[in-house]
């Protein structure tokens, strides 16, 4: 267990030390003790200013901001990005339709000049030690230490288990109309929702196509007012169980039902929920919303001191541009908090000096 600042201060009687050298002010003594303590931890623990868990747009942009603030940053990246199957990013000025892999490479190139260290390992556990610092443990059991922690691990979409969904995901099967609706405008669009409500998504897709069908795959949990709205907008509901979906070269062609019938379809948008890529924030005791995302204030702070979240892990508007913006906000907030801690430490030393005078 590392020696705490409190135990160091308790080991000394400031009056006794000053009796040997009256020229040493209490301010200088307290400041030197605090500085020595931090330097000790930096040397023994290789203490980072910030550890960022998650190498998507939120984590990367947070890392850039903190790197430009001359902070010592470690970024952990499993390279399992939520949008890795996408045919192209959208709603991001200057980056329209860029492949996610190309976007990530541009980000990695920018990180290098700011001294951010990126490690392609998975963090399996994180906690606080007796000094109040964060400890992140990778899948090999190695420990890393930091003053602040930013969790930006994102989400994983729960793909339907119907054969064909996985193979066509990102090219003809989607979950976000704002990300991919324009690419299938005017085509035959299906909405798949068996275990979740999909009627709102079906209504939304009418903005991009007049030909929208709502598929419930054997279930019919549609309430009367929902049925009325679907009918008013000419959206038929098909509840026949689905056997599979079929396509060629990534392009959906048809939906095959278990009763042997088929329907032509060009694209499917699904509602099947999502899960956190990791439960680190939840394990810390962070407050969670009903939708399963971490609650944070406008500065990306959680209810756990020093722990920040950004990106899909913390919000229900899942755009790359929003995730990147939240990463930047978190970076600024963390830097300000680190600055404040240095200022407070100096103020404490000065207050101690005044007390002894």
Task: Please tell me whether residues 313 and 219 are part of one structural domain.
Answer: no
pLDDT at position 6: 45
293 and 331 both lie in a single domain: yes
Question: Looking at the structure, do residues 219 and 99 belong to the same domain, yes or no?
Answer: no
Whether residue 113 is found in the same domain as residue 74: yes
**So what's the pLDDT on residue 2?**
46
Structure tokens at 143: 């420990």
- Say yes or no: 206 and 346 in one domain: no
CA distances from 26 to 6, 23, 309, 347 (A): 16, 10, 39, 12
* Together in a domain, 99 and 24: yes
- Kindly report the average pLDDT of the chain as a whole number: 87
Residue after which a domain boundary falls, among 270, 285, 305: 270
Are 225 and 131 in a shared domain? no
Take residue 235 and report the two structure tokens written for it: 């959206």
User: Are 339 and 234 within one domain?
Assistant: no
Looking at the fold, whether 10 and 115 belong to one and the same domain comes out as yes
289 close to 194: Cβ distance less than 8 angstroms: no
3-class secondary-structure state, position 274: strand
Low-confidence ranges of the chain (pLDDT < 70): 1-45, 313-316, 352-357
Give whole-number Cα distances, 118 to 18, 47, 277, 294, in Å: 46, 16, 19, 24
Q: Report the predicted TM-score, pTM, of the whole model to 2 decimal places.
A: 0.83
Residues 241 and 309 occupy one common structural domain: no
Q: Could you report the per-residue pLDDT of 162-198, keeping only the tens digit for each?
A: 999 999 999 999 999 999 999 999 999 999 999 899 9
Burial-class residue 105 by CB neighbours within 10 Å (0-12, 13-18, 19+): exposed
Query: 179 with 323, same domain?
Result: no
In the listed set 222, 238, 270, which residue is the last one of a domain according to the structure?
A: 270
Count up the domains in the chain and report the number.
Answer: 2
Q: Alpha-carbon distance 273 to 337, whole Å?
A: 35
**Domain housing 61:** 5-156+275-356
Identify the domain boundary among 206, 235, 270: 270
pLDDT at position 314: 58
CB 219 within 8 A of CB 239: yes
Burial environment of residue 225 by CB neighbours within 10 A (0 to 12, 13 to 18, 19 or more): exposed
Give the CATH number of the domain where residue 279 resides: 3.50.50.60
Q: Is residue 211 located within the same domain as residue 265?
A: yes
pLDDT digits (tens, 9 = 90+) for 54-86: 999 999 999 999 999 999 999 999 998 888 888
């Amino acid at each position: 267990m590392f020696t705490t600042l409190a135990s160091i201060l308790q080991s000394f009687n400031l009056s006794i030390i000053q009796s040997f050298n009256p020229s040493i002010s209490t301010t200088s003594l307290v400041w030197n003790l605090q500085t020595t303590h931090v330097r000790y931890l930096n040397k023994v623990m290789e203490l980072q200013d910030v550890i960022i868990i998650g190498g998507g747009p939120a984590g990367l942009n947070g890392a850039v901001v903190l790197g430009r603030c001359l902070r010592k940053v470690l970024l952990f990246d499993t390279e399992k990005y939520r949008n890795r199957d996408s045919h192209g990013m959208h709603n991001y000025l200057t980056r329209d339709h860029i492949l996610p892999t190309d976007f990530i490479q541009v980000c990695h190139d920018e990180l290098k000049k700011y001294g951010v260290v990126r490690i392609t390992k998975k963090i399996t556990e994180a906690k606080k030690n007796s000094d109040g610092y964060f400890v992140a443990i990778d899948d090999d059991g190695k420990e890393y230490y930091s003053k602040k922690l930013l969790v930006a691990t994102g989400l994983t979409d729960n793909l339907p288990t119907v054969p064909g969904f996985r193979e066509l995901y990102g090219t003809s099967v989607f979950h976000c109309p704002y990300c991919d609706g324009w690419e299938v405008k005017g085509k035959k669009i299906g909405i798949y929702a068996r275990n979740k409500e999909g009627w709102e998504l079906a209504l939304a897709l009418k903005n991009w196509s007049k030909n929208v069908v709502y598929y419930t795959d054997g279930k019919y949990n549609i309430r009367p007012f929902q049925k009325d709205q679907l009918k008013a907008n000419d959206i038929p509901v098909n509840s026949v169980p689905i056997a599979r979906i079929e396509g060629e070269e990534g392009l959906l062609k048809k939906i095959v039902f278990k009763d042997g019938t088929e329907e032509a379809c060009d694209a499917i948008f699904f509602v099947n929920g999502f899960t956190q890529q990791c439960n680190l924030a939840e394990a810390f005791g962070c407050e969670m919303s009903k939708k399963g995302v971490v609650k944070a204030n406008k500065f990306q702070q959680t209810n756990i001191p020093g722990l920040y979240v950004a990106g899909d892990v913390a919000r229900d508007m899942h755009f790359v541009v929003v995730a990147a913006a939240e990463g930047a906000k978190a970076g600024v907030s963390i830097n300000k908090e680190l600055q404040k801690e240095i200022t407070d430490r100096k103020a404490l030393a000065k207050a101690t000096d005044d007390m002894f005078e």
